[in-house]
Amino acid sequence: MKQTIGIWICVVAMFFCSSISTGADSKATLLSAEPSKTAVLQAMETAADWQLNHPAPYLASWKTAAGKQVILHMLSDGAVMKKEERDAGREERPAGIPLPWVELAGTMSGTLHLRSLPPDVQKTIARESKGAKGDVLASFDYKIDGWEMSTLYAGMAALAEASSKTVYTEALRRLGASLNWKLSDRLYHADDHCIGQMYLALYEKSRDPRILADVQERFDWILKHPPQQDLAFGNLRDRWNWCDALFMAPPVWTKLAAVTGDRRYLYYMDNEWWATTDHIYDKDEHLYYRDDRFIERREPNGRRVFWSRGNGWVIAGLVRVLDSLPEDYYSRQKYVKLYKELAERIASLQPEDGLWRPSMLDPASFPFPETSGSGFFCYGIAWGIRKGILERGTFLPVVEKAWAGLIRSVRSDGMLGWVQLPGSAPDPTNANTTAPYGVGAFLLAGSELLKLAQ
């Protein structure tokens, strides 16, 4: 059975690689001509429009006769992205989604009765839940103010700057207002700060103090009550003890410092960033472990485990920090040095088809492209070229190949595929796996390409 699965994985991976390399000899210049800039913007809008009408994948949950809880993750066409079983003791009721976003997307009412789901989703649930004990519950898959959706909002805010369409800003404003411009629940947790990136982007446009109030109140409280734990991952995540956190929270701290002029936020961010880096950055490999549990782990080929999206989180967070970090800040050059090390290492590991695999040092372990990490890498490296930190002749081909691979991963209807689902380590992807944070990474990459083209 394992041998059959391994053969199937290789066949699918070979098919994808051959399909996306078909036009490799006819090299397109993506960034030099006006029509190319138009094409980048159109691709961004197509992916964003799909996501507006599919706010998140659907989730269904039910109990089996044996007492297990089944969780089914589906696309709107009924395709199953993931199916999992949990012990009954870990039962979780799917979360809802605020009505304003749903109304804007024009999809359905806020309470997801089975009969209100798309017909193909209903068919999949009916097929998969035969023998269910009790009710089948349905919802969108992600918290509206969680990191999965907040990363999308960061990308959509970047798109709103470039697009003449008002729908993206309108979607974000209605969403923020429905949440009273508040961060999510956990006081210290970086994931619950991520939505602040979108809030502060909108605050810069309007200077509406209501948008800023909760972020500033939360961070002022943290400054007065700094977390006391060490960085071991087994502890609470009150500190940034996993690499994803370096995207979720630090850009909010630096942007808040920029819009208020209060450098206390910079000092906190700076101290925590380098504490995390000292804890999980490998100075020989120039890559970040996802968290300290991975320092001793090895891939099947014997190499260390460095997760593609994990390092994507870091380089994307790093450039967003640098965007708001004052030129005269005492440790700025330390961030620039780290950025160059990361960008050079990431570029050196790019596959020929342009898209990185889930595992950076053992691409054969999951030989599928992964578009969320690749989108962040494209974004981060393009930023460095535009800022003059990376040499254009060396790194522009990296960006062009990455963007071409990302474009080929977008279906004609606008859905971005090959996104690894939520996790903490390399996992498989396929053409039907998508998630809002992957679209957020795609939009950030496209926004940087537009700036680079100018």
Active-site annotation, residues: 244
Between CA 430 and CA 368 the distance in angstroms is: 7
Q: How far apart are CA 436 and CA 9, in angstroms?
A: 25
How far apart CA 365 and CA 306 sit, in angstroms, is 12
Distance CA 428, CA 403 (A): 21
Phi/psi for 201 (5° steps) reads: -65, -40
Beta carbons of 272 and 223 less than 8 angstroms apart: no
Side-chain-side CA neighbours of 291 within 13 Å: the count stands at 17
Strand pairing report for 133-140 and 58-63? antiparallel
Contact 202, 211 (CB under 8 A): yes
Name the token pair of 17.
């690689």
Instruction: Tell me the two tokens of residue 316.
Output: 């994307």
| Half-sphere exposure in the Cβ direction for 429 (13 Å, CA) | 33
Q: What is the DSSP letter of 255?
A: H
Amino acid found at 234: G
CB within 8 A of 445, min separation 6: which ones? 375, 376, 378, 379, 382, 402, 403, 406
Burial class (CB in 10 A: 0-12, 13-18, 19+), 320: buried
Query: Other CB atoms closer than 10 Å to residue 360's CB: what's the count?
Result: 25
Do the Cβ atoms of 269 and 275 come closer than 8 Å?
no
Give rounded-to-5 percent helix, strand, coil for the chain. 55, 10, 40
Packing angle, helices 147-162 and 196-206, rounded to 10: 30
Of the candidates 124, 115, 132, the one whose C-alpha atom is nearest the C-alpha of residue 62 is 132
Asked if 78 contacts 123 with a C-beta cutoff of 8 angstroms, the reply is: yes
